Structure 1
Amino acid sequence: MPRYLVSVAGNIGVGKTTLTRLLGERLGWKTYYEQVRDNPYLVDFYADMRRWSFSLQVYFFTHRFRMFQDMMAQPCSCIQDRTIYEDLEIFARTLNRQGYLDDRDYANYRALFETMIRFLPTPDLVIYRRASPEFLLKRIRARGRAFERGITLDYLRGLHEAYEDWVARASASMPFLILDAEEYDLEEQGHADRVVELVCERCPEG
C-alpha cells in the first residue's frame, strides 16, 4: 500500500485542524497538529507582534521541522495541520511586509529556513483550504479564543495575499489540491464525503 506525506495549508481559522482530523479518521492516516494551546509565545505575540514575531516564527519552524522528521519515520501515511513552508512564505513574509519583523531578522530567519529545508522531502500533496479574509474573521470571532482577539482584517488580508502568491509559485514544484472552505462545509456530511473523495483521487490506495 502506498505511503503518503500530506500537509494541509490555509489561513487562520479556515478549518485546517477539522480537515486534518476528518482525513485521519476516514483514511486511517496518522495526524499531526499545530501546537497552539501550549505555545509559549502566542499570547505575547498577539499582544505585541513587533516584539515577539521573530521568536514565534523560530518556535513554529523548529516545532514543524521536528514534526516532519517524525512523519518521515512512520511506516504509515501521515497528514500534518499546516505546512512548514507557510512559516516563511506566509507568516514571516507578511510580518516583514507589515513592519512587525524587521529586515535583519527576516533575512536571518530566511537563511535558517533555507538551510534546514534541504533535509526534508516535498509533501506528496498539499491541500490548500482557501477562504476570503472576511469569512475567516467571522469564524475566528465565533470560536472565541482570547489570544486571537488582536487579529485584524488587514492582517488576514495580508496573509491571504501571501497564500495566493505562494500557491501560484509553488504549484510548479509540489502538488496542490485547492478546496474552497466557503464551498465545502466540513460539518455537512455530503461536503465532507466529497472532500474525502477528492483527496483519495490524488492519493490512491493502489
Structure 2
Amino acid sequence: MNLDTWIKKYKNIVVEGPIGVGKTSLTKKIADKYQLRTVLENAEENPFLRKFYADNEKYALPTQLFFLFQRLDQLIELSQTDLFETNLISDFMLEKDAIFAGITLSELEMSLYRKIYENQSSQVCNPDLVIYLQADPGTLLDRIKKRGILMERDISMEYIVNLSNAYNKFFYSYEESPVLIVNTTHLDPIHKSEDFDLLMNQLKIFKGRRAFFNAI
C-alpha cells in the first residue's frame, strides 16, 4: 500500500458533518485515492427512518435507537480490527448519534436514550483524525434536494438549521481527536479535482489538534 506521509499517521479517519454536506462521497473518494478500507453508515437499513421524516415526533425514539445499536455494532467490530494491518476511513462517529438525538428526542426519551448511550459508548475507540465538513443550511438543503432521495423530501430548513447548530456546538468543545474543520459552502471536493487537491493539501500540512479550512 503506497500512502502519502500525512495519512500514515492516521490509522482511523472519520469524515463527519450534517446531512447533505457530502461526507459519504468524500469518504469514498479519499478511500479510492489512498486504497483505504471504508466503514460506511447503512441508513437505508433503518426501517423507521422514512416514517421519521414524515412524523419526527412519533418516530424519533425508535429511529434513534436503531441507529445507535447499528453504529455500535459497526464500531465495536471496528475496534477489534488490527489497525496495524490496515488504514481505514468512515463516514460517521458514534457521537453523531447523540447529536441527532439531542434535537429530535423529548426530555423523557432523551433520559432513556442517554442511559443506553452512556452504558455502551465506552466500547468504542476514538478516531485518529476527524474531518468535519460544514456548509451553510441553504447549501445543505439544496444538496439534499439535488440528490433526490425520496424519504428526504420532507426535511425542513428548520431541521437543517437545528442540526447544523448542534454539530457546531459539539465540535466547538470536542477534544478527543484532532479535527480539521472544512467549510464546503464554496468548496466542492467531490466534483472538482482542484478542490479535492486543495483539501488533500490541507490534510498534508495539518498539525496540532485543530485547524480550519475555508476556501473562498
TM-score normalised to structure 2 length: 0.85
- CA distance, structure 2, for counterparts of residue 174 and residue 47 of structure 1: 35
Structure 1 residue 32, shift from structure 2 partner: 1.4
Structure 1 residue 148, shift from structure 2 partner: 0.5
1:4 corresponds in structure 2 to 11
Residue 97 (structure 2) pairs with residue 87 (structure 1): yes
Residue 128 (structure 2) pairs with residue 160 (structure 1): no
Match of 1:151 among 138, 151, 155: 155
Q: Using a 3 Å threshold, how does the CA distance of structure 1 residues 59 and 196 change in structure 2: closer, same or farther?
A: same
* Overall identity of the aligned pairs, in %: 30
Structure 1 residue 81, shift from structure 2 partner: 1.0
Tell which has more relative contact order, 1 or 2 (C-alpha 8 A, sep 6+): 1
Deviations 1:9-63 (A, max 9, x none): 1011000111100111111111111112232111111111111111111111111
Residue 16 (structure 2) pairs with residue 16 (structure 1): no
**3-state SS in 2 of match to 1:8:** strand
2:138 corresponds in structure 1 to 134
Match of 1:194 among 189, 198, 209: 198
In structure 1, stretches of 5+ residues that fail to align are 96-100
Residue 68 (structure 2) pairs with residue 58 (structure 1): no
1:118 corresponds in structure 2 to 122
Q: Is the 8 A contact 2:16 2:92 kept in 1?
A: yes
Deviations 1:86-129 (A, max 9, x none): 110x211111xxxxx22121011111111111111111111100
Q: Is the 8 A contact 1:3 1:76 kept in 2?
A: no
Count of residue pairs the alignment pairs up? 196
Q: Is the 8 A contact 2:49 2:63 kept in 1?
A: yes
TM-score normalised to structure 1 length: 0.89
Deviations 1:159-189 (A, max 9, x none): 111111101111x332111111123212111
1:77 corresponds in structure 2 to 87
* C-alpha RMSD of matched pairs (Å): 1.6
Q: Using a 3 Å threshold, how does the CA distance of structure 1 residues 3 and 177 change in structure 2: closer, same or farther?
A: closer
Q: Is the 8 A contact 2:10 2:129 kept in 1?
A: no
| Aligned-partner residue type, residue 173 of structure 1 | E
1:34 corresponds in structure 2 to 41
Structure 1 residue 2, shift from structure 2 partner: 5.1
- CA distance, structure 1, for counterparts of residue 204 and residue 116 of structure 2: 35
Match of 1:180 among 179, 183, 196: 183
